[in-house]
Amino acid sequence: MKEFAKQYLAILTGRLAGLNLTRIESEEDFYMKQIVDSVLPLEQSDVFVEALQRTGVHVDVGFGGGFPLLPIAKAVPELKSVGFEARGKKAKAVQSIADELGLTNVKALHQRVENVYFDCDAVVTLKAVGKVEDFLPLLISDKNLYVFFYKGPNFYELENLEKIMRYWELIEEKYYDLPGTEGRMLVGFKNRNVLRGTLIKRLQKNKQKDLVKLTDLL
């Protein structure tokens, strides 16, 4: 993974420097804070690994410069990996990085997650995003979703989970050390497959043309 990180950083600070996809220019810092940080759940969380094995599908939401989308795709090449990014330039850039690094199991798409119907079981990751209570309600599915947030050690000081626990169950709380940081928490949820009224209506409309199916994007 160190050689992968070196090649990755060279692309970000070379031909794609104008897009500001990373603020980190040190090879060691980039390796630890972007690559290792992205794949540590594969070493630290049995729940995370089992969910990936069970579904075979990884969806990364708001991947920015490609994290954890590309490192996980590199580490687990048998996965079907797709990323959703609201900014088209970043999505196009990250797809070009995946192509240059030889990651044939990745699609980096300009797509908003609230416009996708998850019509198959999947693992969803979110790194460096806002609050859990704001993002989980955006996921529309009657399948099994395993959603993992990469968070800081003060997660519970900043979050209020009461609003979402009717529809989601907590399946993972894992704290681990990450050199150069205050540490990391991996917080995982699984949906209870009980859609709210407005989501049921949107899911029904999908049979017409409102939502795009995840399986059509893989």
Instruction: Report DSSP letters for 113-165, one per residue.
Output: GGGEEE-S-EEEEEES-S-HHHHGGG-EESS-EEEEEEE-TTHHHH---TTTT
Mean of the pLDDT values across residues 88-105?
A: 96
Decide which of 199 and 69 is more confident.
Answer: 69
pLDDT in tens, 160-193: 888 888 889 999 999 988 887 788 899 999 998 7
Mean of the pLDDT values across residues 111-118?
A: 94
pLDDT level of residue 205 (50, 70, 90 thresholds): low
Nearest by Cα to 116 from 192, 206, 198? 206
**Is residue 30 pLDDT above 60, yes or no?**
yes
Which residue ranges form the domains of the chain, and what is each CATH number?
A: 2-216 (3.40.50.150)
Separation of alpha carbons 24 and 213, rounded Å? 35
Q: What letter would DSSP give residue 216?
A: G
pLDDT level of residue 77 (50, 70, 90 thresholds): very high
pLDDT computed for residue 210 by the predictor: 76
